Amino acid sequence: MIQVAKGLEGVVVADTALSHIDGENGRLIYCGYDIADLAHGATYEEIAHLLWLGHLPNRAELSAFSAKLAGYRELPPTVIDTIRMLPATADPMDVLRSAVSALGATRHFSGAVSVDHAMELTAAMPTIVAAFDRIRRGLKPVEPRSDLNHAGNYLYMLSGEAPSDQRSRALDTYLVLTADHGLNASTFTARVIASTLSDMGSAIVGAIGALKGPLHGGAPALVLNMLRSIGKPENAEPWLTAALDRGERIMGFGHRVYKAEDPRSKVLRQVAERTSEIDFFRLAIRVEDVALRLLHERKPDRRLYTNVEFYSAAVMHGVGLPDDLFTPTFSISRTVGWTAHVIEQLKDNRLIRPAAEYVGPTGLTFVPLDRR
């Protein structure tokens, strides 16, 4: 009998030197470095350098690298035109996917994939999201600034005002924490596309499509909806109890890989405390405490803990992002990881072509159309 691994769970399909998830012990490693150390000490630009080039940069390397990355932020007119043609009511992830496709058609990411391709796509993502958000609000897109870092420039292009250091650093920490995460659905999608020798732009378009799904990248906005529905700390226990009684999933808890607390949630909890309004943070803390107790009581064998989405919602809300930009902002972060995996895939490529067990009928007799 063929053993079918639903969802490819437990199936190893690639070697990677980019990130490692120790689900049993709640650890995440980028290129040998613990995520907590990186989140507290490194910027997103340093993480990009690490994942693309294999080492953390020194000061001179980082300065040159950051300047080159910032130089790719401006969008071609054809991409802006594409964004303008889409409805203001469009899902921002649909706009992002379409605009990246337009960028790929304009820039022609053909030939061997390169770090330059990765840089251009990574730099363009915040500009695309911010441009659409302003256009849908009837405002003119804000030109990027080369003197701000990746996170700060994104916030600036959304509002037209330079963000505070606290907001910029909070978002930068979020970007660091979510830049890569093993062979998740969107990263696997990018590697599958890359394995066909398609271009980098196509791989990222596919990854965006995978991340759009609520089982992958759409959860932070659902967490925020839950917190708003609960409203006050004293409502947490009756609301969560009723939801579990109805068989509903409590958003922001449990993970396919982690059997301990998601290490990213520990850092984001600290960031949320600094960036969220006091009442909102108290609500989040109360909901987390009650949810964990109820989940452990009702599902003791499931090992359900707080995941990255729970406090991601609090952080992105705290820095002022609209709810429907949470998943596009996740895409902005993950582009570094996606492109790093594309580059890695093509260093020792083999077309990814899994098999499927056929379970349909056999032995049927064909009947011509005029006799059916």
| Residues tagged active-site | 255, 309
Q: Can you point out the beta strands (E) in the chain?
A: 19-22, 27-30, 33-34
Report the side by side order of strands in the sheet with 33-34.
19-22, 27-30, 33-34
Alpha carbons 208 and 220: distance in angstroms, whole number:
16
Alpha carbons 246 and 265: distance in angstroms, whole number:
27
Q: Which two tokens stand for residue 201?
A: 């732009």
Return the closest-CA partner of residue 334 out of 234, 203, 155. 203
End-to-end CA distance of the chain: 36
Alpha carbons 38 and 98: distance in angstroms, whole number:
32
Residue 9, helix vs strand vs coil: coil
Other CB atoms within a 10 A radius of the CB of residue 131 amount to: 26
Q: Which two tokens stand for residue 263?
A: 């290490």
Q: Which two tokens stand for residue 351?
A: 């077309």
Q: Which two tokens stand for residue 107?
A: 């820039």
Q: Which two tokens stand for residue 25?
A: 């012990």
From the centroid of its chain, how far is CA 221? 13
CB-CB contact of 160 with 151 (8 Å):
no
Alpha carbons 140 and 160: distance in angstroms, whole number:
10
Q: Which residues lie across from 30 on neighbouring strands?
A: 19, 33
